[in-house]
Amino acid sequence: METVTLYAEDFRIVHNTLCELRYLSQRSRVDPDEVEAIVAKFEKGLASAYKQDSEATDRKHEYYRNVAADMKLTSIWSIYEVEDFYVDHPYVGAKYVIYDEHWGNGEVMREIKGSQWIDLWAAADAAISASGDGHHCFIEHFRPVAKTPQQLRLTTGS
């Protein structure tokens, strides 16, 4: 996971603004203009952190797009905790992706042909394609099937 740095000057602004907010919250009457001014100070203090986070997200999306293009995958990866598709996923022993919560044609099962995230994506992509549901193509979650732990149920969004 990428790190966002809050620089000393930004931290000072956020800290002092928080102190202002505490003071303001103790008063019996609060002026909405004062609240807006405090919000603006918070935004200024966090601007660099927001920018860093946005740039990190853009880099991750670019990485996901490049991997999809290289592997000829048509689905869109939306599990943002994944930093590297070429390391093992945590679903030890998983052999199949089950996809049954979609607008397509019944349950689809596809084999997971390895232990890495990319193998899981490839199986999910194949299941989505086979389902006939062209609308839900964002891979959002996998969960082990309770009765059959070697199966992972795929959840998608649009």
pLDDT of residue 28: 74
- Provide φ and ψ at 80, rounded to 5°: -75, -10
For every one of its 158 residues, what pLDDT tens digit does the chain have, with 9 covering 90 and above? 678 888 888 888 888 888 888 888 787 788 888 888 888 998 999 999 989 989 999 999 999 999 999 999 999 999 999 999 999 999 999 999 999 988 888 999 999 999 999 999 999 999 999 999 988 999 999 999 988 989 999 999 98
pLDDT (tens digit, 9 = 90+) per residue, 2-13?
788 888 888 888
Residues pairing with 111 in the sheet: 96
- Provide φ and ψ at 108, rounded to 5°: -125, 135
Contact call for residues 128 and 99 (beta carbons, < 8 A): yes
CA 84 to chain centroid? 13
Q: Which residues of 133-146 are buried (b: 16+ CB within 10 A; e: fewer)?
A: beebbebeebeeee
Residues pairing with 144 in the sheet: 152
CA distances from 153 to 90, 121, 130 (A): 14, 13, 15
pTM for the full model? 0.76
Q: Distance between CA atoms of 134 and 103, rounded to whole angstroms?
A: 9
pLDDT of residue 1: 66
pLDDT (tens digit, 9 = 90+) per residue, 134-151?
889 999 999 999 889 899
